Amino acid sequence: MNRIDVPNETQHRVTISKAFYLSQSEIPQEVWQKVMGANPSFFRGSQNPVEQISWDDCQAFCGATGLRLPSEAEWEYACRAGTTTPFSFGATITPQQVNYNGNNSDASAAKGLFRAKTVVCGILPANPWGFRDMHGNVWEWCQDGYCELASTTQEALETKMGAYILRGGGWGDDLDGCRSSIRLSYARGDQFNVLGCPVARSAV
């Protein structure tokens, strides 16, 4: 495992000057299998997010579909949806809103909210702009290479570290690990059952 935690979350202004489209939620297994001919996921379910995919796998999928990964700046812009709070839902989150390990409690288990795995894409509430699963479920690969400071532009950062940025937290993370600002990096070839992706397309 080549995980690099990225502690520097210094806030800075980024101008989003180019229109883009972003998938409403993470890519489901059914779509991935149709394009790639195989389903690498550990938690099987046609509408659950595909996981155990590397950054390189995402590049192959995008090459086959004409899509791309979002830049880190685009991802956070969509995740925050105009908010400035730790989460797009406000100051905190609940198991009814996000699939994260806050579900791991006796009270949550009694209500059927103890999951410890992925859930169907889009089954939980959307943020103010209609995007789903940007907090929790699976970490989402971005196009950016690892850098201590996030890009100050909409464009993805290209680096030679061989590690790439993920955002959003996953089913195994605590509340703090699912904040809008949380940053993580893995090596480009890493494949784990907490790693998935959305896809984007430039509007022009």
* Structure confidence at residue 1 (pLDDT): 39
Q: Give the residues across from 184 on adjacent strands.
A: 5, 166
Specify which of 42-46, 103-107, 162-166 reaches the highest per-range mean pLDDT: 42-46
- According to the model, what pLDDT value does residue 113 have? 59
Q: Examine the pLDDT at 188 and tell me if it is beyond 90.
A: yes
Q: Is the pLDDT of residue 178 over 90?
A: yes
**pLDDT score recorded for residue 2:** 46
Query: pLDDT at residue 180 above 60?
Result: yes
CATH superfamily ID and name for 1-204: paralog of FGE (formylglycine-generating enzyme) (3.90.1580.10)
Contact predicate 138/194, CB 8 Å = yes
> Is 65 a residue whose pLDDT tops 60?
yes
Question: Token pair 């400071």 is at which residue?
Answer: 149
**Distance separating alpha carbons of residues 84 and 11, to the nearest angstrom:** 10
What does the pLDDT look like over 153-177, one tens digit per residue?
898 988 877 899 999 999 999 999 9
Which helix (H) or strand (E) segment is 4 a member of? strand 4-5
pTM exceeds cut of 0.95: no
d(CA 144, CA 149): 11
**pLDDT more than 90, % of the chain:** 75
Strands (E), 92-162: 139-145
Average pLDDT over residues 58-65: 98
Contact 95, 108 (CB under 8 A): yes
Closest by Cα among 81, 50, 49, 103 to 180: 81
Examine the pLDDT at 93 and tell me if it is beyond 60: yes
